[in-house]
């Protein structure tokens, strides 16, 4: 009986979106990938509840390098968080 290791069966999820940013301090391009689209369009982002805006920012922060992460410290206005999301995408 041939036994396969679990690693042979695991296929990581494919990213569906990539964000490209420049880091001029080290003269580099940083590409971050997202596993799902956080929102469909700008209108979607504008109509989100504050709780959903924060959830989207948390999802994106999980995939972004530390320097690009959205500040979610308290007290943070969801409008400011939305502006940071707009800047990133």
Element (H, E) at 43: helix 42-47
* Residue 11 φ then ψ, to 5°: -120, 115
The pTM score is: 0.72
Residue 4 has pLDDT above 80, yes or no: no
pLDDT bracket for residue 18 (50, 70, 90): confident
Residue 1 has pLDDT above 70, yes or no: no
Strand partners, 22: 29
Residue 47 has pLDDT above 90, yes or no: yes
Strand partners, 31: 20
Q: Where are the domains of the chain?
A: 6-88
In the block, tokens 């994106």 appear at 60
User: What pLDDT was estimated at residue 51?
Assistant: 95
Contacts of 13 (CB under 8 A, 6+ apart): 35
User: What pLDDT was estimated at residue 50?
Assistant: 95
Lowest mean pLDDT among 5-14, 17-26, 77-86: 5-14
Tokens of 62: 């999980």
């Amino acid at each position: 009986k041939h036994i396969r290791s679990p690693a042979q069966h695991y296929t990581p999820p494919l990213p569906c979106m990539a964000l490209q940013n420049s880091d001029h301090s080290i003269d580099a391009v940083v590409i971050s990938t997202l596993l799902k689209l956080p929102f469909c369009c700008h209108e979607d982002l504008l109509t989100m509840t504050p709780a959903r805006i924060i959830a989207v920012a948390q999802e994106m922060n999980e995939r972004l390098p530390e320097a690009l992460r959205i500040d979610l410290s308290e007290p943070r206005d969801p409008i400011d968080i939305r502006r940071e999301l707009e800047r990133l995408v």
